[in-house]
Chains A and B, each alone.
Chain A
Amino acid sequence: MQQWLLGMLSAIRHGGLLGSGLNTWLGMAALVAITGLIWAAWYLALCGFCRSAPYAMVASMLMTIAQIILSELGLGLIGLLYAPVVIGVNLVATGIVLLTRVVPKWGRVIEAQRQLLSQVRTIRLSLFGRAVLGLYLLVLLRSAFEGFFLAPREWDALVFHLPIMAEIYQAHAIRPFSSLVIWVRAYPFNVELLSLWNLLFLGVDKLVDIPSLPAIVTGALAVYGLSRRWGASRDAALAGACIFAFAPTMVLQQVSSHVDAFMASIFAMGVYLLFGASHAFDVKAKPAIVGLEVGLAAGILAGAKYTGLFYSLALGLLLLGWWLGSLKGTVASAGGRGWAWGAPRVVGPALVAVIALGAYPYLRNLYVFRNPIAPYEVSLLGHVVFQGQTGLDQFIANNSSPQLLAMPIPERLATTWLEKTGSLEDEFLAGLGPLWIILGVPALAAWLVSIILRRQWLQLLLCVLTFLALLATPAFWVPRYSVPVLLLGALAIGWLLDRLRPFARHATTILLLAMAALSVFLTMDLAQVTPRVLRDYVAWRDDRSRSSADFVWVGRKAFLYLEKETSVSPATIAYGGLVRFIYPLYGADLRNRVVAFRASDPHEWQEDLDHSGVEYVIAVKGKPEFTMTTEDPEFQEVASDGGVTVFKRR
């Protein structure tokens, strides 16, 4: 402990603190400042014609995410994805927003902020509210600690999410990738672009696994806002938001490259921005802006994950339902000439936004693989429409245990929703948390009966479309694939709590707090990271030595050998088939160039290695790359572990 304190004091003298150097700290400050500026510009712009501060906050987060993704996508497609260019373009865009949307309405913007401040001053948080916010603060502190000190270490992150980010970062361009891993070549990558945004500022991968954090926090705010919009009291809406925010998947994926919690949050934001619009906006501004907002959410979803397409479609249909429902009111009067004039104003911006944010990966896949959702085969009525390498049945088998698959679907849901056998951190068997099954499901049943009896068609449409999107998702019984459904449980609790008798309300609130606390407590330990490793990372590692190589599942010593050898002089590394964990090969500061070749004979393989100046080859025993490198006299075996072998050029 004493040594550690002395080391820390010594680092402070050189501008370093907690294992991060001055450059990293400056990078983090710039990241927070510039991202905050983009958000603030959109927020102030929206305050110019929006009456609800939470609505403006949620909408501006969506705009910020969309702006960052669009700028990187655009610059990547023309090969200009360099940090100064990306940051410069975003600053210019933000300047334009400020000059055209904020400055002309400055008086109104200031007045809106004054009103908001006076409203905030009148809010007296209940004990329940304070307890909930305290618990959520604990969750955020845990995420900040984990994101700051630990290296990315999830299977999917190391296999394809972060290699996608690394490929784009090193190429300064977005183009078809040459990876041996099909997921790197085919997967949609909107969330990876958000990881890249963090990387561009820091130059090390310190914060690349918290790309979803702002969206997840804002998603909870959207759930709260929607409950309030539909008449819930402050405490009831907060209780509803707990179902969403304290689900273990939502907590754990705050620091993760997985996109499920991000997807659920963007879906919740889209739904809130749609249903909250009639209250939030002046009549004139509404249709086009609502169409744009919903389109942005749908586009971000489509470009984040294949199954995001279902929720993207659900948002589109909800927009259509909302627009048809309000034809007699605001939309028609805003258009002034009926639905024929109103339709393009709503649908047009939505379509443009969806295409801009979501179309690229599908068009690329169509061009490269002749299949927009490669590697999956697409069949319709027994006919193969798009050829693929694998089917959905394989995906389902990969994501469910044989015991689970042997059960009928209701039993599968009961097993995973009750989290019977799995730990809360086991994403295949658990993850929706106690609040969902204990409070969310019963409340949802009651809410569904109520909205049918009261003929609340838009609410019913939301429930039906969310369930349809859920059912369309392959292996929907796997909790992390079904997190968007938490939104319905959350809204149901928001509706129900105010209707309970006082004794029942108190009993439910106590149960809710206890289960939220249990969820938080049981997810506080850091999976795969023993306290000893954690101490090592907190006390002794710096940004370069906090490496994902420590956490690979297979061939760890081989990866650590490469990590050590390349720490001083970066190298070009070639990898062979079945080397799954590609990301650690880059190094925490992405110093190494990582290449893959599809050589069919030893001569071609050697030529590829020589031509690219490869200094190390990492290959799995028995694979062609292993055999061909063994036969190459210029390479010698230097490390091997678990069937993974490293060769070094002599």
Chain B
Amino acid sequence: MGVSRSSNEGNGRSSRWRRAEAELGSLAFVALTWGVAAFYLAQPGRSHDLITMWGWIKSVLKLLLVPGV
């Protein structure tokens, strides 16, 4: 009733292959997404957003903290 040696080897190879595939796929996904994130953050639109937001925060702080404004 045992499983043949060649079948065991096949299963082992296939499971190793699946594991390697999952590792590689995961690595590729992380590399891709972090790469796209870096590219996205480097776009001129983001610096525009950050400058606008910083200006807005400065104005809010000025209104709250500087008397008579």
A504 within 8 Å of B (CB atoms)? yes
B37 within 8 Å of A (CB atoms)? yes
Cβ A504 vs Cβ B27 within 8 A: yes
Chain B interface residue number, banded: 20 to 34
1/0 per residue, CB under 8 A from A, across B32-69: the answer is 11101101100111101110110010011011000000
* A508 partner, pick from B23, B25, B33, B36, beta carbons under 8 A: B33
* B29 partner, pick from A429, A437, A508, A521, beta carbons under 8 A: A508
1/0 per residue, CB under 8 A from B, across A447-470: the answer is 000000000000000000000000
Which single residue of chain B is at the shortest CB-CB distance from A529? B56
> Which of chain A's residues have a CB closer than 8 A to the CB of B44?
420-421
CB contact list, A219-246 vs B, under 8 A: none
Known contacts A434-B40, A535-B63: does B45 contact A423 (CB below 8 Å)? Answer: yes
1/0 per residue, CB under 8 A from B, across A397-433: the answer is 0000000000000000000001111111000011000
Query: Chain B: interface secondary structure?
Result: helix
Known contacts A501-B26, A507-B34, A532-B63: does B45 contact A422 (CB below 8 Å)? Answer: yes
Report the bound CA distance from A434 to B33 in whole Å. Answer: 11
> Which of chain B's residues have a CB closer than 8 A to the CB of A442?
29, 32-33, 36
Cβ B26 vs Cβ A500 within 8 A: yes
> Which of chain B's residues have a CB closer than 8 A to the CB of A532?
59, 63
Cβ B43 vs Cβ A525 within 8 A: no
> Which of chain B's residues have a CB closer than 8 A to the CB of A429?
45
Query: Chain A: interface secondary structure?
Result: helix
> Which of chain A's residues have a CB closer than 8 A to the CB of B29?
442-443, 446, 496, 500, 504, 508
A522 within 8 Å of B (CB atoms)? yes
A511 within 8 Å of B (CB atoms)? yes
Known contacts A419-B40, A419-B43, A499-B22: does B59 contact A424 (CB below 8 Å)? Answer: no
Which single residue of chain B is at the shortest CB-CB distance from A521? B53
Cβ A511 vs Cβ B43 within 8 A: no
Report the bound CA distance from A500 to B29 in whole Å. Answer: 9
A438 within 8 Å of B (CB atoms)? yes
> Which of chain A's residues have a CB closer than 8 A to the CB of B45?
419-424, 429-430
Please give the distance in Å from B57's CB to the nearest CB on chain A: 8
Which single residue of chain B is at the shortest CB-CB distance from A532? B63
> Which of chain B's residues have a CB closer than 8 A to the CB of A501?
22-23, 26
Report the bound CA distance from A496 to B22 in whole Å. Answer: 11
A41 within 8 Å of B (CB atoms)? no
Residues of A within 8 A of B (CB-CB), count: 35
Report the bound CA distance from A446 to B24 in whole Å. Answer: 14
Report the bound CA distance from A163 to B39 in whole Å. Answer: 42
Cβ A504 vs Cβ B26 within 8 A: yes
Cβ B49 vs Cβ A522 within 8 A: yes
CB contact list, A511-560 vs B, under 8 A: 511, 515, 521-522, 524-525, 530-532, 535
Report the bound CA distance from A424 to B51 in whole Å. Answer: 13
> Which of chain A's residues have a CB closer than 8 A to the CB of B32?
442
Cβ A531 vs Cβ B59 within 8 A: yes
Which single residue of chain B is at the shortest CB-CB distance from A430? B45
A439 within 8 Å of B (CB atoms)? yes
Report the bound CA distance from A607 to B62 in whole Å. Answer: 55
Report the bound CA distance from A184 to B56 in whole Å. Answer: 35
> Which of chain A's residues have a CB closer than 8 A to the CB of B27?
504
* B36 partner, pick from A422, A438, A530, beta carbons under 8 A: A438
> Which of chain B's residues have a CB closer than 8 A to the CB of A423?
45, 48-49, 52
* B56 partner, pick from A419, A434, A531, beta carbons under 8 A: A531
Report the bound CA distance from A434 to B48 in whole Å. Answer: 15
Report the bound CA distance from A530 to B53 in whole Å. Answer: 11
> Which of chain A's residues have a CB closer than 8 A to the CB of B46?
419
Known contacts A422-B45, A503-B26: does B37 contact A511 (CB below 8 Å)? Answer: yes
The 5 closest A-B pairs by CB, nearest first: A504-B26, A525-B56, A501-B26, A531-B59, A531-B60
22 A–B pairs (Cβ distance < 8 Å), ordered by A: A418-B40, A419-B40, A419-B43, A420-B44, A424-B45, A424-B49, A429-B45, A434-B40, A438-B37, A438-B40, A442-B29, A442-B36, A446-B25, A446-B29, A503-B26, A504-B30, A511-B34, A522-B53, A530-B59, A531-B59, A531-B60, A532-B59
Q: A424-B45, A442-B36, A504-B27 given. 8 additional CB < 8 A pairs?
A: A418-B39, A419-B40, A437-B36, A438-B33, A499-B22, A511-B34, A511-B37, A531-B60
